[in-house]
Copies of this chain bind each other. A is one copy, B any other.
Amino acid sequence: MISLNNIAEICGVSLGTVSKAIGGKPGVGEATRRRILTVAQQHNYRPNRLVHSIQRGRSMMIGVACNRFDDEFAGGMVTGIFETLFEANYDAMVIYWDRSVQKGVHVLNSLAERRVDGILMFPPASYPEGSYLDDLRSFPNPIIVLDQAWPGCEYDFIGSQDIEGALLATEHLIELGHRSIAHLGCRHTSTGEDRMKGFQKAMMRHGIAIHEKWVRDAWEPPFEDAYKIAREILEQPERPSAIMTFNDMVALQTMAAAHDLGLRVPTDLSVTGFGDLSIATPVRPQITTVKQDPEEIGRRAAQRLIERIEAKSEDQPRPKLIQDRLPTRLVVRQSTAPCQSAQ
């Protein structure tokens, strides 16, 4: 790719003049400018932004540390992130720190070495720990954590009101007369833990006993194990009349298990999801779920990160740590109904 130096040679002028001409700076004769611009265009000159990054000490690049790309919810957040970054003129460098990549490799280094101005981080399924946390701490620029937090997380966090959402879903079931309610969760993630807490809170509030054998966990997308677990729960002689699940995919697996056991949803079993993913509506019965707003989470996280970056470069007082949790909303559809065996 042609450089300013090359153009200078071609035009028989100095580097500085070319720089000014192309940068639209004053102090270049009209004829010279035109000549330079023509040559630049002919050779398809593009300014080298890597150089600018070095000179300004600001790369205008954000690091996005992703976990998985085949997940609609994560995808929604990423969409929001990119919209916001684009508007603010930031580019994005993406890394993938799945188990396959992780293997002890310190992927964060590449972000630091490329001098990203900040990091938007989707925590890996297992919370970061040890030398890995050290990596994070030694990163000099702002970090924002999305969706999943971990105990003692020292960074700004943007996510959903998971506890409240789970509470809504559970209370919805309780209001329908259900008392034998199972929870098929995902407690090794922080959202899973919170949703479990919301479940517990609702049950306690209404003085309903929680059966430990009905509190189980699915592993990870696409949550195929949820099918087996749901079956186990539903095959028992004493079975719940409702299952509150971690998310819509788990709900779907649960509904499949019920179906295969000859149980009708919602007549024989009510099921709630979480997330309001795009499968929640085309499926029959449509899934009663808790709506989240992944794109808005992404947008806010990106905005927040940019604020931090700008505050830092302007030497403003370091803003206080925030925890921003977007509201969730119950969407009642077809997978829940009044309890048949209600008193």
Please report A residues at the B interface, Cβ cutoff 8 Å. Answer: 1, 44, 46-51, 53-54, 59, 61, 64, 68-72, 74-76, 78-79, 82-83, 86, 91-96, 98, 100-101, 107, 109-110, 112-115, 138, 140, 221-222, 224, 227, 249, 252-253, 255-256, 259-260, 278-279, 281-284
From residue A314, how far is it (CB to closest CB) to chain B in Å?
18
The answer to whether A115 and B48 have CB atoms under 8 Å apart is yes
Please report the C-alpha to C-alpha distance between residue A134 and residue B279 in the assembled complex, in whole angstroms: 39
CB < 8 Å neighbour of A69 from B47, B75, B86, B115: B75
Chain B residues whose C-beta falls within 8 Å of the C-beta of A74 in the assembled complex: 69
CB < 8 Å neighbour of A101 from B83, B91, B227: B83
Chain B residues whose C-beta falls within 8 Å of the C-beta of A100 in the assembled complex: 83
CB < 8 Å neighbour of A50 from B59, B96, B255, B283: B59
Which residue of A72, A107, A282, A283 has the most chain B CB atoms within 10 A of its CB atom?
A282
The answer to whether B96 and A82 have CB atoms under 8 Å apart is yes
The answer to whether A46 and B109 have CB atoms under 8 Å apart is yes
Please report the C-alpha to C-alpha distance between residue A290 and residue B7 in the assembled complex, in whole angstroms: 54
Chain B residues whose C-beta falls within 8 Å of the C-beta of A224 in the assembled complex: 281-282
From residue A341, how far is it (CB to closest CB) to chain B in Å?
24
From residue A96, how far is it (CB to closest CB) to chain B in Å?
4
The answer to whether B278 and A221 have CB atoms under 8 Å apart is yes
Chain B residues whose C-beta falls within 8 Å of the C-beta of A138 in the assembled complex: 44
The answer to whether B278 and A256 have CB atoms under 8 Å apart is no
The answer to whether B79 and A75 have CB atoms under 8 Å apart is no
The answer to whether B47 and A50 have CB atoms under 8 Å apart is no
The answer to whether B96 and A93 have CB atoms under 8 Å apart is no
Chain B residues whose C-beta falls within 8 Å of the C-beta of A82 in the assembled complex: 69, 94-96, 101
From residue A282, how far is it (CB to closest CB) to chain B in Å?
4
Contacts A46-B109, A282-B253; is A79 near B72 (CB within 8 Å)?
A: no
Chain B residues whose C-beta falls within 8 Å of the C-beta of A51 in the assembled complex: 54
The answer to whether A278 and B249 have CB atoms under 8 Å apart is yes
Contacts A101-B83, A140-B1; is A113 near B68 (CB within 8 Å)?
A: no
The answer to whether A227 and B282 have CB atoms under 8 Å apart is yes
CB < 8 Å neighbour of A283 from B140, B221, B256: B256
